[in-house]
Amino acid sequence: MDPGNNTLNAAEVINTYNEHDLARILRVYGEEKFASQIAREIVRRREQEPIETTGQFVEIIKAGIPAAARRHGGHPAKKSFQAIRIEVNHELDVLERGLDAATRWLNPGGRICVISYHSLEDRIVKNHFKEMSQGCTCPPEIPVCVCGNVPILKVITRKPLVAQPDEVARNPRARSAKIRVAQRL
Ligand SMILES: [Zn+2]
């Protein structure tokens, strides 16, 4: 959640990535339905002048989203900003490596508790906990285990914990937060 100062890198992504890569980032990281339209608009606009301000970027995103779709949902630019932020920070790579390291450093009985603010992040946490709690990853057709992997985590939260309406009312950012907990065996 660090607002940080990544404006230079964000501008690099927006001004130098090709249309295909921009669309992929917007679609995968932002879950933006109009990713290809927005990517096309970015490329069209930056041929006229470099995109240097968030205001310019918001205008481009709005131009890429059909008017009817702009009327519902949150701010039309939210998904695209999120997507660029993830690309700039390599957040998902960092998350996977962090989860691996944190799990290895736990003492038996120690717990890892992760709060994520985005469904892609939550999915990574969920899958990490699942893999670490399953152990053996051998294909089902092999009669005996050859991988030798053993479970090292027990999942404590089958479903992620989320904020109740009163907490969301007090702290709107809690709306997208999901907490998962696992325990080292
Ligand atoms: Zn196995």
Q: With contact defined as beta carbons under 8 Å apart, do 181 and 157 qualify? A: yes
Per-residue model confidence (pLDDT) at position 88: 86
Ligand 1 center from residue 120 Cα (angstroms)? 28
Determine the Cα–Cα distance for residues 20 and 160; give it in Å rounded to an integer. Answer: 34
Q: How buried is residue 181: exposed, middle or buried, by Cβ count under 10 Å (0-12/13-18/19+)?
A: middle
Q: Give the torsion sign (CA, 53, 94, 122, 2).
A: negative
Distance from the alpha carbon of residue 157 to the mean position of ligand 1, in angstroms: 25
CA of 92 to the centre of ligand 1 (A): 27
Gap from CA of 98 to ligand 1 centroid (Å)? 25
Residue 154 CA to ligand 1 centre (angstroms): 18
What pTM does this model have? 0.65
Per-residue confidence (pLDDT) for residue 103, from 0 to 100: 93
**Region 112-127: what's the mean pLDDT?**
91
Ligand 1 centre distance from Cα of residue 139 (Å): 8
Q: pLDDT-based confidence at 19, cuts 50/70/90?
A: very high
Predicted local confidence at residue 119, as pLDDT: 83
Q: For position 2, what pLDDT does the model report? A: 46
Model confidence over 62-79: pLDDT tens digits?
999 988 877 776 788 989
Task: For tokens 């501008």, name the residue.
Answer: 11
